């Protein structure tokens, strides 16, 4: 890994320790060129398996972009979106899985989105769960009214 100070292409590891309860390793490095020290972190990259069969790294930005679309015209500000993105990321990280299905991502979004805005939640759920009829919407609205958990 190159030195972030002088771009020297080489650096020396002087210390390694577990971080995030063993989910990551932090390394203290020293640059033989400029002598400055910096820290790197190595962790499993959580990959999302898309329905198309393609996998890509989990991206909080992509989650937020998807939810932002569902929130169009709704009184949901960027702070709330950022917070939701953070919640989803935490939930996904907590699974510890190296590969996450788009289904799990959807579930992790639905809970906090429902708390945030019910209309946006319905829009998102209609796409994510593939609502095909008014009945599907009616059932979901009923469940919202009854404050039952999503999917009940």
Q: Interface with Zn ion by CB under 5 A: which residues? A: 3, 5-6, 8, 31, 33-34
Least separation in angstroms between residue 12's CB and Zn ion is: 11
Instruction: Read off φ and ψ for residue 92, nearest 5 degrees.
Output: -70, -40
Around 13, how many Cα atoms within 13 Å sit in the side-chain half-sphere? 10
Least separation in angstroms between residue 19's CB and Zn ion is: 23
Least separation in angstroms between residue 7's CB and Zn ion is: 7
Least separation in angstroms between residue 31's CB and Zn ion is: 3
The tokens for 26 are: 């932090």
Kindly tell me which of 8 and 143 has the beta carbon lying closer to Zn ion: 8
Find the angle CA(13)-CA(15)-CA(18) to the nearest 5 degrees.
Answer: 120
Q: Are 119 and 67 a contacting pair, CB within 8 Å? A: no
Kindly tell me which of 11 and 87 has the beta carbon lying closer to Zn ion: 11
Q: What is the DSSP letter of 46?
A: P
Kindly tell me which of 10 and 42 has the beta carbon lying closer to Zn ion: 10
């Amino acid at each position: 890994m190159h030195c972030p100070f002088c771009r020297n292409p080489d650096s020396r590891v002087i210390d390694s320790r577990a971080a995030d309860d063993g989910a990551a390793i932090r390394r203290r490095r020293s640059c033989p060129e400029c002598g400055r020290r910096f820290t790197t972190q190595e962790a499993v990259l959580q990959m999302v398996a898309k329905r198309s069969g393609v996998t890509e790294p989990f991206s909080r930005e992509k989650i937020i972009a998807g939810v932002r679309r569902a929130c169009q015209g709704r009184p949901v500000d960027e702070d709330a979106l950022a917070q939701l993105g953070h919640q989803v990321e935490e939930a996904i990280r907590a699974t510890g899985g190296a590969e996450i299905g788009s289904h799990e991502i959807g579930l992790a979004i639905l809970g906090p989105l429902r708390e945030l805005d019910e209309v946006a939640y319905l829009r998102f759920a209609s796409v994510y769960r593939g609502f095909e009829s008014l009945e599907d919407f009616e059932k979901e609205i009923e469940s919202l009214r009854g404050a039952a958990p999503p999917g009940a």
